[in-house]
Amino acid sequence: MAPKFKDGDTVASFNGKWVSWAHTVVASLAFLGALVVGVALHYKKIVQNEYYGYPQEWFPSVSATIGDRYPERSVFQLFIAITSGPRFALVFLWYILTARPNSTLPKFLAGAGIFRTLTCGGWTYITSTDDHDFHDIFMISYLVATLPWTLGCIALSPNNRRALKYRKILAGLFFGTLVPLVYYFIQHKVHKVPGAYTKYAFFEWALIVFDVGFDAVTALDFESFELVVKDVKGISRGKTKTAADIEKQKDKAVGRALTQKFIWSEAIDAAADVYNGFVFWSTLTSLGLLVWYFPLWHMGISGYEVFVMVTVSPFFLSLPGLRSFAVRHVRIFHLLSLSSLLAYLVHNPVYRLFTVGFGLAMSCLAWSATWYGARSQPARLESKILAWGIGLLASSIAKFACRTNNPIWPIMHPDIGGWNKTAFTLAVIAVLRSTRRPTNQGDYFPSAGKKGSSFLAALGLGGVFFALHSLLSDSSTIILWVWEGFPIRGPISAPHGSYTIFAMGVGMLLGVFYPRIARSWTAFGIGSIGAAILTANSHWFGYYGALVLTVYLMAVTPTLITSAVRHSPALTFGFGFLVYNLMVLFHVWVVAYAFVPGGPLVRERTDWVMITMMILIGAGVFSAAVSNSASIPKSKRAPSNNQKTRSYYAYVIAILQILSISIAYLRFPTNDYTPYHKEEKTVTAGIWTVHFSLDNDMWSSERRMRDLIKEMELDVIGLLESDLQRIIMGNRDTTQYLAEDLGMYVDYGPGPNKHTWGAALLSKFPIVNSTHHLLPSPVGELAPAIHATLDMYGELVDVVVFHSGQEEDPEDRRLQTEYLSELMGSSSRPMILLSYLVTRPLEGNYNTYVSDVSGMKDIDPSDWDRWCEYILYKNIRRTGYARVSRGTITDTELQVGKFIVGEPEGTNERISEDQVPEGLRFPALFRGQGVRGHRYHVFDEPRYYN
């Protein structure tokens, strides 16, 4: 619009709405222009994706339209460059419109708007064709900045009902569209459903419409907003005047901001509190790992298991002098607890366990004293509970980012991805910051009135501590509870771990803002239904129950802790942690029944564990119903400024959720994996018992495992003793790291609720179908098996991964042998067995595995020096066999076989390596002394066959 000149000092002025309209029109032309040109010139090329083209896919995605081809890319980039001017102007005018004294939110929002505009330029001018990584970085940054921009604009929206209504609608549509967007992207990328990418494209274009439309609403606010260019000295008229007060012409009754003053010192306090909670959960979740190392290597009870009881240190608060000292000087105990972060410097496993045990004992005592000391200050108590709960959320996100390993655990060090030094430095600062003596003492709980039962309160604490640790200390645990193999019919660890994290955040906020709902029996009933659905069902339905349970557990936690602090901390927290320890042993006993006294009594009773857990929580809810704030007079409740304190923790949760979404995007599986020697149609398959990913020196071993698997050029590998999704194994999943880093599909195998020690399959080839089997085990431990069908170079090949029962139970192994032999014999396709059989070659059960019933053959019948690991095959050509020493990674070697797909079985004639084509040879790296303790052993070289 042409500027309107006026007399006097005003040189020019125009209505602010035209900035908004200019931005909307030019941005729309950029996208629509590219779409029209692209459809007209390259329609079939821009609807083509990596799996399908026209007619299965018939509408182009945004990225394909604006970034893949000339001239549509140039059309988009030209108009989007023109859009930058109105965009920066819009951000500036919005700041002028909403700026208030003593309010930092408008400044923050302006910064977010500028950052968002710059990142838009990043993904616009660096397309996915130019540099996929940087394009994704800018795109993620843009989406991350969109959340505070959207929420901030709504919070600062002037008193304009029409504009506020449209903003809420468009913001809801924008974020709501992300759900079907992700769904159809998964259908395309993971399930490879024809036409799914076209549906994804529609939702992607809808995001553009809602995003541009949201900013277009500013035109309604700018209608009464005049932008004036004024000559304050009268130079344009040849005269000089005193400057007028521009503020009188700006901001006439534009409404008040819907936000409170943001104080950075209070925000830093909240961040420090949360970091302390993160350190607590990191320490607690590491203890089980360290304790598990000893019975694992002793093959039985070692005595070090007693260290699980260090968490009952709050019992010492029964001493009045110590309780008073701990409450007044809680900083000392928090600082002492940080010794656990320095445990990585202790290389001896025993002393490392001692160090972590001491640190955790101090941490449990410190947090109990912290909560008890804040019992008379509702606002402060609530903030400490929030910090502790959000600390669990932060710990889960850290593991989500690092593929289920917490980088500050004592099994990590800097050479294998540990952040130990940084973590300790930040922890010291956080403790010093968050343990300053409070200046506002707050209001007090009434001394009179019912307090409920301290015994029941302790039971509730024990139940919820166990529930949070066993189910929510890793975002993939409940996902693997409902996992049943390929084709995928439920959530996968990445990206759906972010769903678990989101539910945790929702539950935490629900428990604080709506405590009456969280502590109600209705909520308990809903949570119990969720637990039942998770326990009894698989796939998406089971996961929906898990999400309901997740929200409930996080929501009820503040209520139970608030109730517990009204009693003696020694009784509630000391006894509560004792109950937690008993529940930990209970949930270990159900799978370790063959190794522990009384184990058969609770064999495979995960349902009993869940029922007991919910009964314990119910006991705590019953006590809280008497003692919580329902009995506190309104005049004695938390001060009104508690709302502001809560807001900082809500900001932390929002930031963590954004981080979680970004991690999920970065970890999304590419599903474009390539075998090492596809020209020769070779398959290199291996079997390895990985001993729960703890090496001989109690360090995490997945990086060393990855190196050996990569250097041996394995296309398919079966892993045994691989189920780590229990408290004693750290609630980890090594297969996530290996699959993502090596570029492989993965089947985790029977989940943690199936009571096995684990069997997993990783493959460079697509897994068309897989089924999980629990073989007969009337006496000993359950024997897991995976029967998978892989698409190898266009031919279907079966792969079976199997772990037989232990030596002490011969009848179990006989039944398992018959079951597996019939299973293998039921398929006429080419098949490879990667197994742990517990038998001598040519003796006993071996002759059932290798028989006419199964149709299987031994990869090398002359190899007499075997007891556990075997590779068998049928209807596929075997070309090579090797045994590679374990180094210090585990207690079992890696066995590897080479096969050629599409060719019949060969003879048993051995040939020398110089008769074998280069592409069919094993790597020479492991000859002689090998590398890192890995070398060809037993035969000292690979064997090859005609």
Supply the DSSP symbol for 914. Answer: G
Structure tokens at 610: 């869940």
Distance CA 149, CA 109 (A): 6
pLDDT at 230 over 80: no
pLDDT at 631 over 50: no
Q: Are residues 591 and 662 located together in one domain of the fold?
A: yes
Distance CA 423, CA 532 (A): 38
Q: Which is more confidently placed, 68 or 8?
A: 68
- pLDDT confidence of 639, banded at 50, 70, 90? very low
Q: Are residues 683 and 602 located together in one domain of the fold?
A: no
Catalytic, out of 135, 334, 469, 803: 803
Does residue 803 have an active-site annotation?
yes
Q: Are residues 686 and 662 located together in one domain of the fold?
A: no
If we measure between CA atoms, which residue out of 841, 785, 845, 837 comes closest to residue 814?
845
Distance CA 311, CA 859 (A): 50
CATH number of domain containing 898: 3.60.10.10
- What was the pLDDT predicted at 446? 43
Distance CA 216, CA 208 (A): 12
- What was the pLDDT predicted at 148? 78
Torsion on CA atoms 927, 930, 936, 942, rounded to nearest 10: -30
- pLDDT confidence of 235, banded at 50, 70, 90? very low
Q: Which is more confidently placed, 16 or 120?
A: 120
- What was the pLDDT predicted at 68? 67
Region 923-944: what's the mean pLDDT? 93
Distance CA 83, CA 76 (A): 10
Residues of the domain holding 891: 678-902
Distance CA 56, CA 61 (A): 14
Q: Are residues 813 and 728 located together in one domain of the fold?
A: yes
Region 569-579: what's the mean pLDDT? 95
DSSP assignment of 528-557 equals: HHHHHHHHH--HHHHHHHHHHHHHHHHHHH
* Last-in-domain residue among 601, 631, 666: 666
Secondary element (H or E) of residue 894: strand 894-900
Q: Are residues 715 and 796 located together in one domain of the fold?
A: yes
Distance CA 277, CA 363 (A): 10
* Last-in-domain residue among 622, 646, 666: 666
pLDDT at 661 over 50: yes
CA angle 886, 892, 896 (to 5 degrees): 75
pLDDT at 246 over 70: no
- pLDDT confidence of 19, banded at 50, 70, 90? low
Q: Are residues 628 and 730 located together in one domain of the fold?
A: no
Q: For tokens 């266009």, what's the residue?
A: 794
Q: Which is more confidently placed, 716 or 56?
A: 716
Distance CA 332, CA 428 (A): 11
Phi, psi of 683 (to 5 degrees): -125, 120
**What digits encode the pLDDT tens for the residues 297-321?**
877 778 888 999 999 999 999 998 9
CATH number of domain containing 386: 1.20.1250
Residue 932 lies in a domain: no
Distance CA 242, CA 608 (A): 84
Q: Which is more confidently placed, 749 or 808?
A: 749
Region 384-408: what's the mean pLDDT? 95
Residue 88 lies in a domain: yes
Q: Is 701 helix (H, G, I), strand (E, B) or coil?
A: coil
Residue 475 lies in a domain: yes
Distances 720 to 65, 474, 689, 801 between C-alpha atoms, Å: 46, 21, 4, 8
pLDDT at 257 over 60: no
Q: Are residues 656 and 682 located together in one domain of the fold?
A: no
Domain count of the fold of the chain: 3
If we measure between CA atoms, which residue out of 36, 121, 652, 198 comes closest to residue 387?
652
Region 539-563: what's the mean pLDDT? 95
Phi, psi of 752 (to 5 degrees): -65, -20
Q: Are residues 572 and 633 located together in one domain of the fold?
A: yes
Amino acid at 337: S
Region 198-226: what's the mean pLDDT? 77
Q: For tokens 């698989």, what's the residue?
A: 538
- pLDDT confidence of 3, banded at 50, 70, 90? very low
Q: Are residues 704 and 654 located together in one domain of the fold?
A: no
Provide, rounded to the nearest whole percent, the portion of the chain with pLDDT above 90.
57
Contacts of 305 (CB under 8 A, 6+ apart): 291, 294, 295
pLDDT at 770 over 80: yes
- pLDDT confidence of 469, banded at 50, 70, 90? very high
Least trusted range by pLDDT, from 91-95, 311-315, 336-340, 890-894: 91-95
What residue ranges in 571-618 does DSSP mark as E strands? none
Distance CA 407, CA 423 (A): 9
- What was the pLDDT predicted at 259? 43
Torsion on CA atoms 587, 592, 593, 595, rounded to nearest 10: -140
pLDDT at 73 over 80: no
pLDDT at 440 over 70: no
Q: Which of 49-53, 67-71, 84-88, 244-248 holds the top average pLDDT?
A: 49-53
- What was the pLDDT predicted at 533? 96
Q: For tokens 């995007």, what's the residue?
A: 665
Residue 12 lies in a domain: no
Residue 1 lies in a domain: no
Secondary element (H or E) of residue 911: strand 910-911
Terminal-residue alpha carbon distance, the chain: 83
- What was the pLDDT predicted at 224? 64
Phi, psi of 709 (to 5 degrees): -60, -40
Amino acid at 810: P
Q: Are residues 620 and 747 located together in one domain of the fold?
A: no
- What was the pLDDT predicted at 397? 96
Region 658-682: what's the mean pLDDT? 89
- pLDDT confidence of 632, banded at 50, 70, 90? very low
**What digits encode the pLDDT tens for the residues 276-290?**
999 999 999 999 999
**What digits encode the pLDDT tens for the residues 580-594?**
999 999 999 999 888
Residue 829 lies in a domain: yes
Region 484-496: what's the mean pLDDT? 93
Q: For tokens 């005047």, what's the residue?
A: 241
- What was the pLDDT predicted at 256? 34
Distance CA 632, CA 638 (A): 10
Q: Are 420 and 408 in contact (CB under 8 A)?
A: yes
Provide, rounded to the nearest whole percent, the portion of the chain with pLDDT above 70.
88
Residue 335 lies in a domain: yes
Phi, psi of 607 (to 5 degrees): -65, -35
Q: Are residues 466 and 540 located together in one domain of the fold?
A: yes
* Last-in-domain residue among 200, 224, 248: 224
Torsion on CA atoms 829, 834, 838, 842, rounded to nearest 10: 50
* Beta-strand relationship, 943-945 and 857-858: unpaired
Structure tokens at 479: 């996902």
Distance CA 467, CA 473 (A): 9
Tell me what the pLDDT averaged over the chain comes to: 85
* Beta-strand relationship, 894-900 and 682-689: antiparallel
Region 620-627: what's the mean pLDDT? 88
- pLDDT confidence of 656, banded at 50, 70, 90? very high
Q: Which is more confidently placed, 463 or 156?
A: 463
Structure tokens at 311: 């968490």
Q: Is 739 helix (H, G, I), strand (E, B) or coil?
A: helix
Q: Are residues 476 and 605 located together in one domain of the fold?
A: yes
Q: For tokens 């955040």, what's the residue?
A: 505
Residue 409 lies in a domain: yes
Q: Which is more confidently placed, 68 or 351?
A: 351
**What digits encode the pLDDT tens for the residues 519-534?**
999 999 999 999 999 9
